[in-house]
């Protein structure tokens, strides 16, 4: 399955878009484009080991390659970046492990 995604990370203003593809409902490859240098580096590192095994990625007994790589690349103020969550969701959908539904994170300041 091929999934197209657009992720607006927040106040940084960077847009990340691309595709997640699985031809066997388990192994997922990404094509990621972003104006953000850190996300571009994340994409480069994720492409290195080859396709991600979506079953290993969701297994709580193993360390997710995607999330571990994101933790190593997205440090400092970028540690809370929403892009890794979007990539994880795209991977799940591409492998048939989740339904294709938009995700939203809404933040509102309250004076009380």
Q: What is the CATH number of the domain that holds 49?
A: 3.90.1010
Domain that holds residue 60: 2-94
Helices (H) and strands (E) in the chain, counts: 4, 4
Task: Give a yes or no: residue 108 inside a domain.
Answer: no
Task: Give a yes or no: residue 47 inside a domain.
Answer: yes
* pTM attached to this predicted model: 0.93
Query: Is there a contact between 14 and 36 (Cβ–Cβ < 8 Å)?
Result: yes
Q: Residue 16: what pLDDT? A: 98
Contacts of 112 by beta carbon, 8 Å cutoff, 6+ apart: none
Q: Residue 9: what pLDDT? A: 87
Task: Give a yes or no: residue 13 inside a domain.
Answer: yes
Q: What is the domain count for the chain? A: 1
Q: Residue 10: what pLDDT? A: 84
Which residues of the chain, if any, have pLDDT below 70?
A: none
- Count of residues for the chain? 112
Task: Give a yes or no: residue 77 inside a domain.
Answer: yes
Q: Residue 96: what pLDDT? A: 98
Contacts of 77 by beta carbon, 8 Å cutoff, 6+ apart: none
Task: Give a yes or no: residue 102 inside a domain.
Answer: no
CB crowding 17-37: b at 16 or more within 10 Å, else e: ebebbbeeebbbbbebebebe
Task: Give a yes or no: residue 103 inside a domain.
Answer: no
Q: Residue 22: what pLDDT? A: 99
Task: Give a yes or no: residue 107 inside a domain.
Answer: no
Of 33, 54, 57, nearest to 43 by C-alpha is 33
pLDDT tens readout for residues 23-40:
999 999 999 999 999 999
């Amino acid at each position: 399955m091929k999934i197209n995604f657009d992720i607006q990370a927040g106040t940084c203003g960077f847009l990340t878009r691309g595709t997640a593809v699985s031809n066997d409902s388990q192994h997922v490859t990404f094509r990621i484009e972003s104006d953000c240098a850190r996300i571009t580096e994340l994409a480069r590192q994720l492409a290195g080991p080859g396709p991600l095994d979506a079953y290993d990625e969701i297994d709580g007994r193993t360390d997710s390659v995607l999330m571990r790589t994101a933790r190593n690349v997205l440090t400092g103020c970028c540690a809370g970046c929403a892009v890794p969550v979007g990539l994880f969701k795209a991977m799940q959908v591409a492998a048939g492990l989740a339904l294709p539904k938009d995700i939203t994170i809404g933040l509102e300041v309250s004076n009380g």
